[in-house]
Amino acid sequence: MAVQRPRVGMYEIGRTLGEGRFAKVKLARHKETGELFAIKIIEKDRLKKVNKMVKREISTMKLIKHPHVVRLVEVLASKKKVYMILEYVGGGELFDKIVEDGKLNENEARRYFQQLIHGVDYCHSRGVYHRDLKPENLLLDTKGNIKISDFGLSALSQQQWDDGLFHTTCGTPNYVAPEVMDGKGYEGAPADLWSCGVILYVLLAGSLPFNDSNLSTLYQKIQKASINFSPNFPAGPQELVKRLLDPNPKTRMTIQEIHEHEWFQAHNSILECDDLDGRFTNGCEITELQDTSRPVPMNAFEIISTLSQGLDLSGLFVEKEDLCKKEAKFASVYPPREILSRIEDFATQLGYKVKKANYKMKILSCKPGRKGFLSMLTEVMEVAPSLFMVDIHKVGGDTLEFRDFQQQLYTGLKEIVWKTEEELAGVC
Binding site for ATP: what residues are annotated?
40
Catalytic residue among 101, 121, 132, 277: 132
For 73, the 3-state DSSP assignment is strand
CA distance 381 to 210: 61
Work out whether the CA dihedral 90, 91, 93, 94 comes out positive or negative: negative
As annotated, the binding site includes: 40
DSSP 8-state class, residue 319: -
Contact residues for 84 (Cβ-Cβ < 8 A; gap 6+): 39, 40, 42, 57, 58, 72, 75
Crossing angle of helices 399-412 and 336-349, rounded to 10°: 120
- To the query of whether residue 192 is one of the catalytic residues in this protein, the response is no
φ and ψ at residue 242, rounded to 5 degrees: -60, -45
Reading phi first (left if > 0) and then psi (alpha if -120 to 50, else beta), residue 254 is in beta
- What are the CA-CA distances from residue 146 to residues 69, 94, 351 (Å)? 8, 8, 29
Catalytic residues: 132
